[in-house]
């Protein structure tokens, strides 16, 4: 299967901060407000700074984050599972928040990685424009590529504000996606253990 999204599609020329702030002013006028009124004067610069935070994942390479692996596992070959990793992302269709939790597991073969790195990988992909399905696969692919484990499982449970605050307005609906690789896909016992633990 083709590895997706390990490197983001970076636009070759990034606009300047001034251009980004001007774009915010256009959107403010589109919303029906006046960007020159006092309360909105600093909004364009605040929004662009917020975007730097929301989308900080474009400047980071997740495979590099996972590159410091440890081969001395002391024979540890059971499942490593990180549960309830909270994340905030933005949907690529409406640019509104997706807020949820990721559960990430792998079965080591020869390499393990610092546990915090797994949470970091979730964050890197979350801090980009996403679809939940794409993000689920990207996290699994990055771990598979870096650790070459016996298996990887990723499950994401999230609420999409494009469904709760607009469109069909269905608050409280959460979306579940999962991606299983290797033993998690092939062995029902391993998969069941993962599902029982999360
Ligand atoms: Zn959306």
Check residue 178 and give its pLDDT: 98
Could you give the residue numbers annotated as active site? 91-94, 132, 160, 162
Count the helices and strands in the chain (H runs, E runs).
Answer: 8, 7
Question: What is the torsional sign of CA 79, 84, 89, 94?
Answer: positive
Give, in order, the Cα–Cα distances in Å from 123 to each of 73, 90, 136: 25, 12, 12
Check residue 11 and give its pLDDT: 59
pLDDT < 70 stretches in the chain: 1-12
Check residue 8 and give its pLDDT: 57
Q: Could you tell me where the beta strands, DSSP code E, fall in the chain?
A: 69-70, 80-91, 97-107, 112-113, 129-130, 151-160, 175-182
CA of 158 to the centre of ligand 1 (A): 12
* Residue 82: strand, helix, or coil: strand
Task: Summarize pLDDT for 82-111 with one digit per residue, the tens.
Answer: 999 999 999 999 999 999 999 999 999 988
pTM over 0.85: yes
CA of 186 to the centre of ligand 1 (A): 32
Check residue 2 and give its pLDDT: 42
């Amino acid at each position: 299967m083709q590895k997706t999204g390990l490197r983001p599609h970076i636009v070759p020329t990034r606009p300047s901060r001034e251009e980004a702030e001007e774009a915010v002013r256009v959107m403010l006028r589109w919303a029906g407000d006046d960007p020159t009124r006092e309360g909105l004067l600093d909004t364009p610069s605040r929004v662009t700074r917020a975007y730097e935070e929301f989308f900080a994942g474009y400047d980071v390479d997740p495979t590099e984050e996972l590159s410091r692996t440890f081969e001395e596992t002391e024979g540890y070959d059971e499942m490593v599972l990180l549960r309830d990793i909270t994340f905030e992302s933005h949907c690529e269709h409406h640019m509104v928040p997706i807020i949820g939790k990721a559960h990430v597991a792998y079965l080591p073969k020869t390499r393990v990685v610092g546990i915090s790195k797994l949470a970091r990988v979730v964050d890197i992909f979350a801090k980009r424009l996403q679809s939940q399905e794409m993000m689920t696969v990207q996290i699994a692919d990055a771990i598979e590529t870096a650790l070459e484990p016996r298996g990887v499982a990723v499950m994401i449970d999230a609420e999409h504000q494009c469904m709760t605050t607009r469109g069909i307005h269905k608050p409280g609906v959460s979306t579940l996606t999962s991606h299983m690789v290797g033993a998690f896909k092939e062995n029902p016992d391993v998969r069941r253990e993962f599902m029982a633990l999360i």
